[in-house]
Amino acid sequence: MAKKWGQYLRNWVTKNMELPQDVMMDLPRITMIGHIHIYIENHRGLIAFSDKELRLLLKQGQLLIKGKAFVIKAIMPEEILLEGKIDQVIYLQE
């Protein structure tokens, strides 16, 4: 019951105070430029990285990015900029 109430309250605050949903609901913000750059904000950490795959921990689940020639251009505690040829972006629920 408390979990439902918390979700209801977040939705109400987001709607009535005109705050972005990603901020209020602790969701990742993903910005892609074509298939060569992806910028992810609000992640919980790097799980795995290779030149073909990047896996990030999210508050709810994981984000899997597949492709080729990956290079991490910038990484901060809750933000990452990845460059390469991006073929797939997959959200994995726990």
Poorest-pLDDT segment among 9-13, 33-37, 88-92: 9-13
Rg of the chain on CA atoms, in Å: 15
State in words which class domain 26-92 has. Answer: mainly beta
Q: What is the arithmetic mean of pLDDT over 16-24?
A: 56
> What's the pLDDT tens digit per position in 22-75?
455 678 999 999 999 999 999 999 999 999 999 999 988 999 999 999 999 999
**String of DSSP letters for 23-85:** HHTT--EEEEETTTEEEEES--EEEEE-SSEEEEE-SSSEEEEEEEEEEEEEEETTEEEEEEE
Task: Locate the domains of the chain by residue range.
Answer: 26-92
Taking the C-alpha atoms of residue 14 and residue 40, their distance in angstroms, rounded to an integer, is 21
